[in-house]
Structures are given as C-alpha cells and as structure tokens.
Amino acid sequence: MANVIFYEKPGCINNTKQKKLLQKAGHTLDVHNLLTTSWTLERLRPFFCNRPVQEWFNPTAPRIKSGEIVPRQLDEKTALELMIADPLLIRRPLIQVEEVFQVGFDVEQIDSWIGLNSLSPEIEDLETCPNIHQ
C-alpha cells in the first residue's frame, strides 16, 4: 500500500471521509494542515498538473462564492499567488504519493492510481462540501 501525503482543512467533513477511505484501503497517511503549510509557487504548482486553472480552486471558498475572485479569468501565476496568500482558495485535498501529485478526490481516479479496495456503488460525492457557506 502507499504512503499518502494528505493536505487537508482540519475539521472538513469530506477530508475526514476521504482519509477514512484511504486508511480502509490500507494506505498510511501523513496528514498536514493545508491552511498553515508554508506554500511557495514551486511547492504548490505540481499538485495541479495539467488541469485548467479554474479546477485548482475550491468552489465553496467565500471569495469565490462572492464573485470577488473568478478563477477562469486568472493566469497560473496570479492564481498561485492568490492561493498562497489565502489557502482557503485551494481545492482540497492535495495528495502526494512519491513523485505523483493530485488535487481533489476523484474516487475512480484514486482507485486506479493507488487503489481503494473498498469501493462500492454507495460511495457518495467526496469533493463537494456538504456545508452551506453564506
């Protein structure tokens, strides 16, 4: 099984469910607080691979929901600078296994990458925040 470096927002309901699913599959977790990690452009950028900038952002972040920040209008450097200044903007979780980096928790993708041998059709959406942000 894999040693998974997992960056979360402590207290996030979905991050808790995601960690349990990974542990149930036999993976070991090295958990870090996404909000207090000292991010740099070079350290944060690999998690987003070739995804469009818009997919880097947490759509439920207050500054996104209010329209203050519109991810589809940003270039990479500006997006990274905004996320470093305000980590709530970063889509969660950030996951690293060896030299492979990923953002978000797409169950099928993670299953094909490192395995989630506890997959069942009842697995719920583990990315969309169940909390309602005003």
* Residues carrying an active site annotation: 12
- Nearest CA among 108, 89, 92, 86 for reference residue 11: 92
Q: How far apart are CA 82 and CA 90, in angstroms?
A: 9
Burial of 134: CB neighbours in 10 Å, binned 0-12, 13-18, 19+: exposed
